[in-house]
Structure 1
Amino acid sequence: MSELALTRAVDDRAAARRSPTLLAELLAAPATRVLEVSRGRAQLADGDRLRWRPPAAADARRLGVFLGEQDGVSRVAVGLAVDEAPADDDPSWQGLRALAPALGPADAGLVVQAVAVLNWHDAHRFCPRCGAPTEVIEAGYVRRCTADGSQHWPRTDPAVIMTVVDDDDRLLLGRHVDWPAGRFSTLAGFVEPGESLEAAVRREVLEEVGLAVGEVAYRGSQPWPFPSSVMLGFTAHALGTDVRPDGDEIAEARWFTRAELREAVDAGIVGLSPRVSISRALVEHWYGERLPDPPPS
């Protein structure tokens, strides 16, 4: 598959994070560029690029994360406090699903990195071992317990997502129980502890639609910080065609030939996942070319 949306395209200078003064030095340097993040949203400038600005005095008291270097310029994300948050209806502030299609690969990768790490900080302010407060070290990539000194790193939850095909190379798509009629996507699920990725693919397909799976082939991956996943894409070959949706997660599952899927998408009968997602990329990889967006309702 071609390069997926939301993937990183910067020099992250990971070794430099260990310097305890790195963030302070960067935020004191006029050449540094800063990205503000608020509740998973970032601000656009001119509609198609992130709003990067020079450091401000207030950044010293904000939670900062060193994102790396882009074109020789150091990039830092700062999380805004609740009382600094922009209005919900400010159109220049957008979440990742809206931002990603408008941004180039570098900006998209940087904003995903910023949101993912800041999401982790919001959820891990206290030590999971003893409950004491934690402090931020290593330029925003580690939290250290103030009581026992234990260190904790950003969490990433692996999930598998797969195109399931049969002997006739038809594609299986499913509709989640919470989705409206006509919305379909690839099957997906989280990897369980002690489970290989291939085993997770086979288990999820069996659980969700009652199909046994044989060959499993890796296709690509995509960070998905909602709030902290990485999606690992596969193609799975079904050993049968009799689908039995579980009713708990999957309400409906259907096989499509390429012609059937194209006709349904063209007619607006089937709605696929947005272009920003690896699900859409997997479907279009099977189809062989880009599929159109549905006509406006």
Structure 2
Amino acid sequence: DGKMGVFGPTIVLVALCVHPSHSLSASNVFFDTQGRLLRSGAGSSAPRLYLPVFDGHSLLHEVLPGAWEAVLLTSEQVASFTAPGQGALQARIGLSSTGSPMAQRGELLGAAEPPAFYLLELSHLAQPPDGESLGAPDGSEWRQLRSAAQVSVLDHLRDDDEAALLATARGLALWHSSNGFCSACGAPTQPARDGTIRTCGSCGARHRPRLDNAIIVLVTDGQGRCLLGRKGSWPEGRYSTLSGFLDFGETLEECVVREVREESGVAVNRASIRYVASHPWLFPRSLMVGFIAQADNVELGDGDDELADVRWFSREEVASCVEAAAEAPLFHVPSKVSLAYTIIQQWLRETV
């Protein structure tokens, strides 16, 4: 059901053996900044830039037709919201690395050194503040980051690294709003450690953001076809790789086998399962771990009712769809924002 229990943090120990011809360029993985956003150790002396969030919406500015960027606000611009007693929550996201596009944006905003990025959660207000009151560029808009019914604004950012900033800010805002009370004793919790955790003032328990682990897998038949499915709520013609959340106590490999069997009736060859990539999917709080696997049988059976359709597609069909880069009504796959796109691209490279 997507709800996090009161369990300890997930610790993943991974040993990967990747054939050189099958190596994946991590630059192809959306939300992976390749170290340009340093997630820990944001220096207290670093100038701050804030990403405002209101009720799950982010403030964006259309710099060119169809090209968006995150609105970043300086400490001076948000001083009236961050003053003591004003109720705005602040939480550290990370520090930009020297020379990165994010650091260059900081320079344009007057930062003398690489800035630290912070969430500015404004959902305590009755209405979202307009861009003018925040000092944002003219034409700035509060936008949802993704939509199941249309192309995501994340597909149209001028700098893809900003997707990591925006998604993390939105995800942190949701986590804070969902964890106002201690799961151990029921007392109120308060932000601590620069907003990266919450602590209980009664029993002292510390609460850290948790991610729901999920697998996403492209199943192949070894003969140039792959297995894709679609949900009834998706836009017409959209098919994607199969996916699902881990059951409690389940391994990633067990989850791959189970989810494929439940959704399609196809049996996966366990020995064929191999890791491709991972990325956070903070809508609301998942870590997607991606695989490619081969089927032991190609006959589709009776799956559960989660998917409206599941079928085999030829490499030619999938390649044409990806090359078209359009949401064709008869058949298309998710955009670059999804890990499904990364895995499909990997398979297409391997099967040239």
- Under TM normalisation by the shorter chain, which class is it? 0.7 to 0.9
Match of 2:260 in 1: 205
Letter in 1 for 2:40: R
Letter in 2 for 1:92: E
Unpaired runs of at least 5, structure 1: 17-21, 290-297
Match of 2:106 in 1: none
Check the 8 A contact 2:42/2:94 in 1, yes or no.
no
Letter in 2 for 1:5: F
Matched ranges for 1:10-21 at <5 A: 10-14=37-41
Match of 2:183 in 1: 128
Letter in 2 for 1:36: P
Number of residue pairs matched? 276
Match of 1:240 in 2: 297
Letter in 2 for 1:243: L
Deviation digits for residues 259-292 of structure 1, max 9, x if unmatched? Answer: 2334567664112112211112212222239xxx
Larger CA deviation: 120-129 vs 178-187: 178-187
Larger CA deviation: 51-60 vs 155-164: 51-60
Match of 2:348 in 1: 287
**The residue matched to 1:125 in structure 2 has which SS?**
coil
Q: How far apart in 1 are the matches of 2:296 and 2:182?
A: 46
Q: How far apart in 1 are the matches of 2:343 and 2:321?
A: 18
Deviation digits for residues 7-64 of structure 1, max 9, x if unmatched? Answer: 3431223476xxxxx5xx87xxxx4211111122212232432111112231233111
Is it true that 1:49 corresponds to 2:69 in the alignment? yes
Deviation digits for residues 82-132 of structure 1, max 9, x if unmatched? Answer: 414258xx8722222333223323322111221121111111111111211
- In structure 2, relative to structure 1, the CA distance for the partners of 1:107 and 1:179 (3 Å cut) is closer
Q: How far apart in 2 are the matches of 1:40 and 1:249?
A: 26
Is it true that 1:96 corresponds to 2:121 in the alignment? no
Larger CA deviation: 249-258 vs 264-273: 264-273
- In structure 2, relative to structure 1, the CA distance for the partners of 1:255 and 1:15 (3 Å cut) is same
Letter in 1 for 2:71: R
Is it true that 1:166 corresponds to 2:183 in the alignment? no
- In structure 2, relative to structure 1, the CA distance for the partners of 1:34 and 1:238 (3 Å cut) is same
Letter in 2 for 1:100: L
Matched ranges for 1:55-66 at <5 A: 55=75, 56-60=79-83, 61-66=87-92
Q: How far apart in 2 are the matches of 1:241 and 1:252?
A: 15
- In structure 2, relative to structure 1, the CA distance for the partners of 1:285 and 1:245 (3 Å cut) is farther
Is it true that 1:69 corresponds to 2:95 in the alignment? yes
Check the 8 A contact 2:41/2:95 in 1, yes or no.
no
Matched ranges for 1:179-194 at <5 A: 179=234, 181-194=236-249
**The residue matched to 1:154 in structure 2 has which SS?**
coil
Q: How far apart in 1 are the matches of 2:179 and 2:342?
A: 32
**What is the TM-score normalised by the length of structure 1?**
0.84
Q: How far apart in 2 are the matches of 1:247 and 1:86?
A: 45
- In structure 2, relative to structure 1, the CA distance for the partners of 1:157 and 1:92 (3 Å cut) is same
What's the RMSD between the two structures over aligned residues? Answer: 2.4
Match of 1:295 in 2: none
Q: How far apart in 1 are the matches of 2:233 and 2:300?
A: 19
Q: How far apart in 2 are the matches of 1:180 and 1:51?
A: 29
Q: How far apart in 2 are the matches of 1:180 and 1:246?
A: 21
Q: How far apart in 1 are the matches of 2:268 and 2:277?
A: 19
Match of 2:31 in 1: 6
Letter in 2 for 1:63: L
Give the drift of 1:191: 1.1
**The residue matched to 1:139 in structure 2 has which SS?**
coil
Q: 1:249 aligns with which of 306, 309, 320?
A: 306
Q: How far apart in 2 are the matches of 1:199 and 1:43?
A: 40
**What is the TM-score normalised by the length of structure 2?**
0.72
Match of 1:140 in 2: 195
Give the drift of 1:194: 1.3
**The residue matched to 1:5 in structure 2 has which SS?**
coil
Q: How far apart in 1 are the matches of 2:315 and 2:196?
A: 44
Give the drift of 1:253: 1.1
Is it true that 1:37 corresponds to 2:53 in the alignment? yes
Q: How far apart in 1 are the matches of 2:225 and 2:144?
A: 34
Q: How far apart in 2 are the matches of 1:181 and 1:68?
A: 38
Quote the sequence identity (%): 34
- In structure 2, relative to structure 1, the CA distance for the partners of 1:262 and 1:69 (3 Å cut) is closer
Unpaired runs of at least 5, structure 2: 1-23, 97-102, 104-113, 131-138, 147-151
